[in-house]
Amino acid sequence: MAEKQYGSNKFKDLGWIASHWNYYLRLNSHVLMRGVPPRELIGLKYPFKLADPIKPPLLSVDFTDACDLACVYCNNPCFPHPRTMMSDGIFNCLLQNLRAAKINRVRVGGGEPMLHPNCAEMLGKLKPLTKYLSIITNGQWKEPHEIDEILLSGVDLIEVSVDAGGAKIYEASRQNASYRRLLQNIRHLRHQRDRLKSSTLIRIRLMLRPSTKHLERSETAFWKRYADAVLPQLLLKHPDSEYDQDLFYTRVYDQNTAPVCSLPFKDLQIRPDGRIPLCPAKGTSLDPAKRSFLGHVCHDSLIDIWNGPAFKAMRQAQRTRQGKIMEGCKGCNYS
């Protein structure tokens, strides 16, 4: 059996940050130019150094929990069926709530958000209500016009998640995916972005396994042909998944302890059915007993939930490393 390897996506090491300075400079400059306050950028990386923000620096919105892939390391394939697509009614509640909350950054994900039949239209309606709008996709869209519509929506950042190691590893990791289609789509995305003279930034999330970590430099050079920025992300053992081949582990997983988590200080999530969880892990857990929802976008204020007792208790517990609320955080790697 291969020796277990440990890793973390909390890249706080100054040496690592210095070696990827061009990425941080490009992305953060792009965000600041859109009017996002510097304090919010600092808070995303170092929330414990600052007072609690009065509103979420980031709103994560899932248009759908459906996905056209079955990645072997993900818990999404184990979600119950049928999947949920955000309805017009819930989306209108989101728009109304966001209009009042004035949250500066909105990130759209899932699932695969581009499976929602109204994805581009929804992005176009979100854009005037936030300073920085981004979407993360697997890049497996079937028709080129789909990405054309996303670009025309005015989205500021398009993130594409890619496994390092070439076609064989990519397709083995992402069942139902085509590496050839991925390349065609990303080339088309870059061509159309440049043709339209769009200011949308293209970023690759380069997913690394222990066996492919040594490929970071060569893979980064390859994907920089099409993307403005490439940032590595370690593939971590998911607490809800039995898959354990060629993944990194976090110490908290082995020790069943609660991680030092920054999510309660920076991110509020809305699920496709409008429910608002305490954190992404509490919203997508396969075990119903581990789920925790605080409200609904059609019935509750985003700001009230953010400043409510549950979020305050979680933030205080993370600051002091004490509190019963942290029992539910043991073994989590979302932080």
Q: Are 190 and 230 in contact (CB under 8 A)?
A: no
- Bridge-partner residues for 296, per DSSP? 275
| 156-to-34, 113, 136, 153, 195 alpha-carbon distances in Å | 9, 16, 11, 9, 16
In the prediction, which pLDDT does 11 show?
A: 52
- pLDDT surpasses 60 at 282: yes
- pLDDT surpasses 90 at 306: yes
Please tell me whether the overall predicted TM-score, pTM, comes out greater than 0.75 for this model: yes
- pLDDT surpasses 80 at 7: no
In the prediction, which pLDDT does 46 show?
A: 85
In the prediction, which pLDDT does 309 show?
A: 96
Max alpha carbon distance in the chain (Å)? Answer: 54
* Between residues 16 and 159, the one the model is more confident about: 159
In the prediction, which pLDDT does 335 show?
A: 61
Q: Residue 313: name the closest of 290, 299, 329, 331 by CA.
A: 329
Q: Residue 164: name the closest of 175, 179, 180 by CA.
A: 179
DSSP states along 186-242: HHHHHHHHHHTT---EEEEEEEE-TTTGGGHHHHHHHHTTT-SEEEEEE-BPPTT--
Q: Residue 145: name the closest of 205, 190, 185 by CA.
A: 185
Q: How far apart are CA 303 and CA 66, in angstroms?
A: 28
In the prediction, which pLDDT does 323 show?
A: 86
- pLDDT surpasses 60 at 1: no
Give me the percent of the chain exceeding a pLDDT of 90: 70
- pLDDT surpasses 60 at 261: yes
What is the band of 325 on the pLDDT scale with cuts at 50, 70, 90?
confident
What is the band of 258 on the pLDDT scale with cuts at 50, 70, 90?
confident
Give the mean pLDDT of 119-140: 98
At 153-163, the pLDDT tens digits run 999 999 999 99
Is 149 strand, coil or helix? helix
Give the mean pLDDT of 177-199: 97
- Bridge-partner residues for 234, per DSSP? 208
Q: Residue 186: name the closest of 154, 234, 227 by CA.
A: 227
The runs of H, that is alpha helices, within the chain are 14-19, 21-33, 38-45, 88-101, 119-126, 144-152, 166-173, 179-195, 216-223, 251-255, 263-266, 280-284, 302-306, 309-320
Q: How far apart are CA 59 and CA 310, in angstroms?
A: 17
What is the band of 285 on the pLDDT scale with cuts at 50, 70, 90?
confident
Is 65 strand, coil or helix? coil
**Residue 300's Cα: distance from chain center in Å?**
23
- pLDDT surpasses 80 at 255: no
In the prediction, which pLDDT does 302 show?
A: 98
At 191-225, the pLDDT tens digits run 999 999 999 999 999 999 999 999 999 999 999 99
At 35-75, the pLDDT tens digits run 999 999 988 888 888 999 999 999 999 999 999 999 999 88
- pLDDT surpasses 60 at 12: no
